[in-house]
Structure 1
Amino acid sequence: MTPNHWIILPVVMPAIMAAVMAMAMRHDVVLQRVFSLTATVALIAISAGLFISTLDGTIHTYQLGDWVPPFGIVLVLDRLSAMMLLLTSLLAAGVILYVAGSGWDTRGWHFHALFAFQVMGVNGAFLTGDAFNLFVFFEILLIASYGLMIHAGGGVRLRAGLQYVVMNLAGSTLFLFAMGTLYAVTGTLNMADMALRVRELDQGDQALLRAGATMLLVVFGIKAAAFPLQFWLPGTYANAPAPVAAFFAIMTKVGAYAILRMYSLVFSPESAAIGSFFLDLLLPAGLLTLFFGAIGVLGAKQLPRLASFSVLASMGTLLIALSIGTQTGLTAALFYLIHSTFAAAALFLVLDLVADSQGPTIRAPGGLVAALFFAAAIAVAGMPPLSGFVGKLLILDASRDAPQMALIWSMILGSSLLIIVGFAMRGSRYFWKPLDPGFANPENLDPDGNPVAAHPIRPLAITAGFVPFALLVLLTIAAGPITAVLSDTAAQLLEPDSYIEAVLGPQSGEH
């Protein structure tokens, strides 16, 4: 197959742009904005083209250095990876536009360069067909996200960032242990080749395979903030700059993507060595993650922590959908993944608008900001008419034949009620009731606790804040055709032989 050089551009282009902006434009923030926005728009066009190329079911590969797999590095573009690329580029465009409109990039150094490296790492994780390079891209994510996390400085932000990086470094160490174990058992780290070796594994090596796969699940659970490894997320997201937290909405989805990719391809339930072992682990993890996220929303006293716990709850809902393991379950999971990403981004951008319009005073934010918060709350809670309601209905419908149907329905519906109550309490506190005189809102203090003065919201920031809402409306209106496309994506995931054949060639079917 002739290499499609477009496949590597979502990785190479952000890397080049990051280096150019860091070295040649570091003193000109306006030029950085122009180049960053231009590159992001180009990335949307490229991702859309790649996505369209996969709609016929074709799986494309790109062999770096023209090395034949499994000996060289290979990038793989299928329906799932193309969808995630497009999702990332759309999210990045909204965030960059907001940063340019609100002036967040003037509060610290190298925001746009770090953001480009972040996009590079995310895209690389979605495209790689090699487990070790998944680790490499995870490390790029960690480095860039830590720099973004502490953007604009402050002691509180630095402490939250330290907890975040220590937790992820522990996960990276465990990732290496898992890679070593799996390589010792299978003799390869190419995902497609590993999937074939797992099928042929001797009975005596299956216990070691399960140990390596379990360590890998723990690593991905850290990235996805799944119970009992979720404790790093609320403090990290609540203290990160709001536009950074908005883009971090895709970060937990990288962990969910890795779970979906590895445990549908390499450690699939059809494998005699694995069976339903990992699907059985995902359900309790998802239920408990959703429970603690909903309780956190109900008990949160500040809006950023409320938003952070809502992200945790959405990850629990997503893991529950993944645990169903059927085509309808995966379709629902993919739809909810898209929705929850845009909904979380919309909420964090709105909270920044709240802080800008309110400042340390006791006055309530303007009507437009209050309306946006109300819309974001509807999206996050999964209420009609926005797409979160459709996503949760799809999950409930997919779980009708599951043995744990009653538990899944009770948890999803009960948590939705708790989240609605939590948002209603905080919303009334900030938008309807006068604050105590002299009270300084915690959201409107800088990282060192000093009040941030209110100022008029810039029109470009408001425009950018509407971007994720527009995408949510589009997702709602086009829910039918989008669900059909996602159903085909789920069907492709449940047929790993097509992925293996695309990477290793037709002769792989002879193994």
Structure 2
Amino acid sequence: MMQHLITLPILLPLLAGIILLLPPCGKNLIIRRWTAMFMALLTLIASTVLLQQLLQGGPIVYAIGTWQPPFGIVLYADPLAVLLTILTSFLTLVTTIYASRGDDKKGSFYHPLTHFLLMGVNGAFLTGDLFNLFVFFEVLLIASYALLMHKTDKQTTKAALHYVVLNLVGSSIFLIALGILYGVLGTLNMADLATKVAQLQGDDIYLAKIGGLLLLIVFALKAALLPLHLWLAATYSRAMPAVAAQFAVMTKVGIYAMMRVFTMIFGDNAGELSGMATTWLWPLALVTLVVGAVGVLASEDLRRLTANLVIVSVGTLVAMVALNNEQATAVAIYYLLHSTVGCAAMFLVADLIGLQRGKVQDRLVNSRSVAEPKLLGICFVLCAIALAGLPPLSGFIAKLWLLDAAWESKIAWVFWPIYLIVSLATLVALSRAGTSLFWHDNPQQDEQFEDAVYAGKRRSFAVLLMLAVPVLMTVFAAPLTEVSQHAAATLHNTQVAVDTVFALAKGQ
């Protein structure tokens, strides 16, 4: 019975999306909200139970329709994949709570779309073959297109158009890459690919390399790695805040795909194709860090600043992926969890601040003070401390671990100064934002907050729930780092994945 548990992070959101479209949920907003929250919580619980099973018994493989690998559709769950399904389910739950205060009234089908997006993201994390990775990419992208248009205005439509066009191009490149790899290797099952890549000879090696590099382009686009990052800041800053918070995990799908493909398939055991992505990833990661920091300093509002912080996190994560060792992967997993939740929380805080500052919204200019300075001030400070990597929150632990992981490599002399300067720039930008929003206010413009929208219990609870994560990641840093190290070790031990998948094929 427990082997079917792997399907629940995909099936539950699919079921939720269908239920939310049908009566009575489709016609009654209150029922729709509570159903959406319940199903998101159920998906979170299922993912957590699945992680416990993995930590006790190792990776799980599930053949859909009993068609055995490498020919059938296979789901593969290891600690890394399931940690990310937990993260995505948590973000969906919190943003659903936040949006149910009224944001879900701004467009049709918000709640079904969030669950279809959750299904696509979880499916991308749990799939065991490249073609179904493409399928789940398309599922999450279709849902994200509609969610971007949930808040309809001219600027949002323009940002959404750029996002759609770029991702359609990315999907085309993805299909070309899959065609090349299938033509050369005769399979798209990841475990099967891992065994066959090292056996390539002659011109087939170069064809497989072309396919792999085309996949790298696709994943770089999904992750917003420079120079394919230009869509992110405008898209995330113009999306509805709850949507932007949920989208904080979207770039991590691209990062995860890089980890999985260029460790499992084109990793150390890939013969002449070993480490083929490192040459490209390392310089692009450093430049992305620098460009993200420049964007953070140049941001004129808090939402765009947060969107650029997402780009900084992408550069940091890709730098760890480029190191291609267990310690770097372990810190990347811990940092990924921390940075995703931190950026998502800041998107929500930016919205609350904007709702209480009148026409200037969250722009970093001299204006009236917010109506709830204590609540929003505390929330902003906690977000800023986490994202700037200051003690005592989890960002500080992640920063020290990142520097330690880089120190043991040959590129520490490059990464350390760049990362520390970027961290300083982040601290300066967040400090400037805080003083602009909370200190440089103009009491004469307060107007008794007649048009201010107060946070309310539901929005406050959602933001505080999100901000509890960096605190808990600090309190439980020891067990969480152990889980991250275990997930990294499982990812880098390709033979475990191969043996697990083909043991299923042999009926063992």
- The normalised TM-score by structure 2 is 0.94
Q: Distance in 2 between matches of 1:210 and 1:381?
A: 38
Question: Does the CA contact (< 8 Å) of 2:97 and 2:462 recur in 1?
Answer: yes
Name 1:74's counterpart in structure 2: 74
Distance 1:29 1:279, change over 3 A: same
Name 2:241's counterpart in structure 1: 242
Equivalent of 1:434 in 434, 441, 461? 441
Q: Distance in 2 between matches of 1:225 and 1:123?
A: 19
Amino acid at match of 1:377: A
Name 2:363's counterpart in structure 1: none
Distance 1:507 1:91, change over 3 A: closer
Amino acid at match of 2:465: V
Distance 1:225 1:61, change over 3 A: same
**Residue 103 (str. 1) matches residue 121 (str. 2):** no
Query: What displacement does 1:496 show?
Result: 0.4
Name 2:308's counterpart in structure 1: 309
How many residue pairs match? The answer is: 496
Name 1:116's counterpart in structure 2: 115
Amino acid at match of 2:190: M
**Residue 364 (str. 1) matches residue 369 (str. 2):** yes
Moved beyond 3 Å, runs of 4+: 435-439
Task: Report 1:64-463 matches (<5 A).
Answer: 64-100=64-100, 102-360=101-359, 362-365=367-370, 366-434=373-441, 453-463=451-461
Q: Distance in 2 between matches of 1:282 and 1:378?
A: 28
Across the aligned residues of Structure 1 and Structure 2, the Cα RMSD in angstroms comes to: 1.9
Deviation string, structure 1 residues 39-66 (Cα, Å, up to 9, x no partner): 0111111011100001135111111110
Query: What displacement does 1:84 show?
Result: 1.1
Q: Distance in 1 between matches of 2:393 and 2:244?
A: 22
Amino acid at match of 2:351: D
Distance 1:179 1:453, change over 3 A: farther
Name 2:59's counterpart in structure 1: 59
Question: Does the CA contact (< 8 Å) of 1:69 and 1:503 recur in 2?
Answer: yes
Name 2:488's counterpart in structure 1: 490
Query: What displacement does 1:103 show?
Result: 1.2
Amino acid at match of 1:82: V
Query: What displacement does 1:233 show?
Result: 0.4
Deviation string, structure 1 residues 256-281 (Cα, Å, up to 9, x no partner): 00000111111113321212221222
- Unaligned regions of 5+ residues in structure 2, if any? 361-366
Deviation string, structure 1 residues 83-129 (Cα, Å, up to 9, x no partner): 111111122211111112x3110111100000010000001001100
Query: What displacement does 1:507 show?
Result: 8.5
Name 2:21's counterpart in structure 1: 22
Query: What displacement does 1:18 show?
Result: 0.7
Q: Distance in 1 between matches of 2:334 and 2:148?
A: 28
Distance 1:437 1:281, change over 3 A: farther
Name 1:501's counterpart in structure 2: 499
Question: Does the CA contact (< 8 Å) of 2:266 and 2:275 recur in 1?
Answer: no
SS at the partner of 1:357?
coil
Q: Distance in 2 between matches of 1:434 and 1:10?
A: 46
SS at the partner of 1:129?
coil
Deviation string, structure 1 residues 365-407 (Cα, Å, up to 9, x no partner): 1221022112111111111111111111111101112111011
- Unaligned regions of 5+ residues in structure 1, if any? 440-451
Question: Does the CA contact (< 8 Å) of 2:95 and 2:245 recur in 1?
Answer: yes
Query: What displacement does 1:220 show?
Result: 0.3
Q: Distance in 2 between matches of 1:501 and 1:434?
A: 62
Question: Does the CA contact (< 8 Å) of 1:3 and 1:63 recur in 2?
Answer: no
Question: Does the CA contact (< 8 Å) of 2:110 and 2:150 recur in 1?
Answer: yes
Question: Does the CA contact (< 8 Å) of 2:5 and 2:46 recur in 1?
Answer: yes
Distance 1:67 1:417, change over 3 A: same
Q: Distance in 1 between matches of 2:15 and 2:358?
A: 38
Query: What displacement does 1:203 show?
Result: 2.9
Question: Does the CA contact (< 8 Å) of 1:57 and 1:78 recur in 2?
Answer: no
Q: Distance in 2 between matches of 1:27 and 1:294?
A: 45
Query: What displacement does 1:3 show?
Result: 7.5
Q: Distance in 1 between matches of 2:197 and 2:443?
A: 63
Name 1:447's counterpart in structure 2: none
Amino acid at match of 1:425: R
SS at the partner of 1:108?
coil
